[in-house]
Each structure stands twice: as C-alpha cells, then as structure tokens.
Structure 1
C-alpha cells in the first residue's frame, strides 16, 4: 500500500489535500509543526508527525513513497522565513526524498517562479525562493510534478481548471480547493513523466490532468 507524506499538512491547501487523500482510502503521513491543528481529523490511515521544517525532518519520510510539499512561510512573514521555508525546507525535502528513494515528488510552487525577474513586486523574494527550490528539485534526479498555481482564492471548488495562462491578470487565479483536488488527483495516479505546469480555474475537468 502506497503512503503519501504531506509536508505542510496544517496549511489551507495541505489540509484540504490530506482530507481528500484520506477520503480516497490512501495512507497519509501529515508533517506539521503543531499536531493540534489536525485534531479535527480522525482516520486510521493518518499518521501525524510533529517536526519543525527549520530543523531536521528527515524521519517523516520513512516508509513513504510519495511526497507533496505544500508548506509555505505565509504572507505575514518576512524574507527570512521565505528563505527558510519556501527555499531551504523545500530543498532539504528533495534531499531527504532522494535519500529515502521516494518515487514521486509533488511541489506546490507559484506562477512567476519560472522567471522572477519578469515580475516587479513585493513578491519577488518569494518567487526567487520558489524558483530556486524548483530548480533544485529538477536537478535532484527525482521524478517530480511541479504545480504553479495562479493567485489563490477561497472560492469553492469548481473541479475545473486549465494549464493555459489566461490573457488577463485578473483571470489568472485559482481556488485553493481546486489546487487541493488537483494535487489529490495527481497523487492518486501512478507516477507519470516529469512535469511542470501552471494551474488556473478553467473549463478542463481535474480528472483529465
């Protein structure tokens, strides 16, 4: 039986993804800094590991064959946490995955991470961190899927997405629920070819990803 490690399982997308995987009868290891944030989830297929991403969290990978990195420093933190979580923790996660012979690594990245210089905004340090983490994963030798969502919203899941960037910036958005459902769908399939794609609300059913 396969087992998926969800890193950042108490975050909005991470928690949604964890619940979706469990609803599919999948075995999940949820890596969180504070396990009390998952007290509302009771499932025999769930194991919760409480570790700090700024330290050594390699133990959480034991017995897993797939990883979803959904952790993030959050919008209210400074550049220091962006470096430590979005870059350094993601880099360490790829290294730990390599050491544990993980079969597939799903990285939640961001639109703009392909070319941070193309976007002049206060988000640039975040995009640089995501870019470097993505590049490290690409060079790791692991099988990977890098998902780069557009601007995140709290709308309900439409269960329809697109990997084609909309023409207008206002339309380059996606609900967190659509992201989570997309991750859960990808994680439920046998690992495919290495892939990188952007993701937005659209008119393509998630099951076709």
Structure 2
C-alpha cells in the first residue's frame, strides 16, 4: 500500500508513517519545511516538500500518483492565528481532496476533532473556535464528495504511550487519547474498506483497538 500523508512532520503523521513503514508499506510525507526531511526518513517515510498553502491541486496531484490512499493529518499548530486555521485546517484539506480526485485516488482519511458538531460555546477561545469551525468545514467539504472518505475525530490528544485500548463509535463521551493510538487507528481504518463513509469519534477506553475498529465499521 502506498499512502500519502499531509502534515508529514506532525506527531500523528510521523507515527502513521512509522506504522506503515514497519509493516512494509510505503508512506509518503508531505512537508512544508525541507529541514524536516531527515525526521521523515528516520521514520521510514519518503519526504516530499510541498507547501499546501502555496500550491495548486494539479501540482499536488502529481505527488499522489500511484497512491492507494491519502491521509490529512496537517494542522496550523499551536501559536497560529485564526487565519491559518482556515488556510490549513480547512482549505488545505479541501485542496488535498481536489488533488485526490484529480489523481484518481478514492480513499481519503481526514483527522478532525471532537467538538465540531454545533457552534462553539460563547466562552470558547476565539482561535480555538476558528479551529473547530475550520475542521467542521473540512468535514462538510469532504463528505459531500464522491470519495471513499473516513472522518476520524479524536478527543484531547496526549503524548502518552499507546494503550491499545480505545472507545470508537459515531459518538463517544469526551476524553483523551494518545497520539500513538490515533495513528494505530488510522492505519487500522486504512485496512478496512467498510470504514468508508463513516464519521467516528475516538478516545481512550477499555476495548482492544482491533476489536473496537472492527465493531465500529461493521
């Protein structure tokens, strides 16, 4: 399997790349900063420099040639303002979908966020509110397309070691989940065509990961 991951230098993306490479698949990481290439190579991925905020769908599609799937795990990141929440978390996700359709890549996994359904609470930090709105807009754009999409909405992300036990369903109670478990769930979803067309929320839980994924897509 050849998978192209947008946001290739992010923590979740690098964990996905390492999982895929470890089992013999090809992971291609799209990065904005060429200085990050060595980190991707160390994770077993093929780095490709492509700034999603300053490229076209046609140019991006060229990097998707031969891919079996794309994963959008990019984000403007902490410290960025509301404007970049829109240009990265929404617009770049839509651009990747445009490029996937142009390149004939049907499988698309979008890393979104819990808390996007309904408007942000009035006391929500303005930048975080912009983030939630951007994620929901990215979801709405993707789910309206003729692609084999899956939307994964993790809860609060941590850098804890993976537990291998999760709660995964259309709706789950709010909670935290390790980035390592998110990455493993993404890879498991790639392996399950039945996950296409589903929006799933994810937090840490009690069910073994493979069992939880199988139940969620059955």
TM over 0.5: yes
Gaps of 5+ in 1: none
Task: Kindly indicate which of the two structures has a greater share of residues assigned to helix.
Answer: 2
* Aligned match of 2:149: 144
Which of 183, 187, 208 is equivalent to 1:184?
Answer: 187
Preserved CA contact (<8 Å) 1:18 1:28: yes
Preserved CA contact (<8 Å) 1:103 1:143: yes
Distance in 2, matches of 1:46 and 1:175, equals: 21
Which of 128, 131, 136 is equivalent to 1:126?
Answer: 131
Distance in 2, matches of 1:184 and 1:158, equals: 16
Gaps of 5+ in 2: 214-218
Q: Structure 1 length normalisation: TM-score?
A: 0.90
CA deviations over 1:119-153 (Å, ceiling 9, x no partner): 74112110000000000000111111100000111
* Aligned match of 2:86: 83
* Aligned match of 1:15: 14
* Aligned match of 1:160: 165
- Give the Å deviation of 1:188: 3.2
* Aligned match of 2:4: 5
Distance in 2, matches of 1:193 and 1:47, equals: 26
Aligned residues: 204
Q: Structure 2 length normalisation: TM-score?
A: 0.86
* Aligned match of 2:216: none
Preserved CA contact (<8 Å) 2:14 2:40: no
